[in-house]
């Protein structure tokens, strides 16, 4: 199952219904019914719903108006550097046709910049055009978490 982050839209999972910005908590629960769900802690939100897939955890959350405004995806388990061949299996996490967690962070940033995105790089993270934040632990070459923001998210960034 691929995890696709889509700017201005939300989350597309190949084997589960889409979860889109603006959905209520009840709509998310209905879309993911039958899945083993949990409630991840997300500071500054009114509600959250999470699901774990092969090697990745997904959390979505909403604001006081109960609208979905934030999607977070993180690698689960240990990440082995520098060779990618020894990675534990995980679902590809894709934004603009690049697997965000597979390729080295510098290559992902360069690719997204070449796609026309404004890329602001920090020591362990990257912000893409006020839409997507990518983070990695210090010393790791690849990103391990992604946060996709709704265009009108009421959360502080």
The answer to whether residue 84 is domain-embedded is yes
- Partnered with residue 56 across adjacent β-strands are 53, 75
pTM, two decimals, is: 0.86
For residue 89, count other CB atoms closer than 10 A to its CB.
7
The answer to whether residue 133 is domain-embedded is no
106 pLDDT band, cuts 50/70/90, is very high
Q: Which pLDDT score is estimated for 52?
A: 87
Taking only the tens place, the pLDDT of each residue in 38-78 is 888 787 788 889 998 888 899 999 986 778 899 999 988 65
The answer to whether residue 131 is domain-embedded is no
Q: Which pLDDT score is estimated for 22?
A: 92
- Please give the tally of structural domains in the chain: 1
Rg (CA), the chain: 15
The answer to whether residue 118 is domain-embedded is no
The answer to whether residue 58 is domain-embedded is yes
Instruction: Please give the residue range of the domain that contains residue 70.
Output: 3-102+142-149
Taking only the tens place, the pLDDT of each residue in 87-105 is 556 788 999 999 999 899 9
What's the CA gap between 105 and 5, in Å, rounded?
A: 17
**How many degrees, rounded to 5, is the angle at CA 142 between CA 70 and CA 116?**
65
- What average pLDDT does this structure show over 111-139? 90
Whether 20 and 27 have beta carbons less than 8 Å apart is answered as no
The answer to whether residue 134 is domain-embedded is no
Q: Which SS3 state, helix, strand or coil, does residue 20 take?
A: strand
What's the CA gap between 32 and 48, in Å, rounded?
A: 13
The answer to whether residue 40 is domain-embedded is yes
The secondary structure of 21-58 as a DSSP string is TT--HHHHHHHTTTS-EE----TT-SEEEEEEETTEEE
Q: Which pLDDT score is estimated for 141?
A: 85
Taking only the tens place, the pLDDT of each residue in 1-37 is 689 999 999 999 988 899 999 999 999 999 999 888 8
The answer to whether residue 124 is domain-embedded is no
Q: Is the pLDDT higher at 129 or at 116?
A: 116
What's the CA gap between 154 and 65, in Å, rounded?
A: 9
């Amino acid at each position: 199952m691929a995890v696709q982050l889509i700017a201005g839209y939300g989350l597309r999972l190949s084997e589960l219904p889409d979860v889109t910005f603006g959905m209520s908590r009840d709509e998310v629960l209905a879309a993911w019914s039958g899945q083993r769900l949990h409630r991840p802690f997300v500071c500054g939100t009114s509600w959250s719903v999470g699901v774990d897939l092969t090697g990745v955890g997904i959390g979505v959350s909403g604001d006081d108006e109960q609208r979905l405004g934030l999607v977070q995806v993180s690698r689960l388990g240990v990440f082995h550097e520098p060779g990618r061949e020894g990675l534990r299996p995980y679902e590809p996490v894709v934004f603009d046709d690049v697997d965000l967690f597979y390729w080295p962070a510098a290559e992902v940033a360069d690719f997204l910049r070449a796609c026309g995105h404004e890329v602001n790089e920090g020591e362990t993270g990257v912000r893409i055009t006020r839409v997507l934040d990518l983070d990695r632990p210090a010393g790791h070459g690849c990103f391990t978490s992604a946060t996709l923001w709704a265009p009108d998210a009421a959360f502080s960034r």
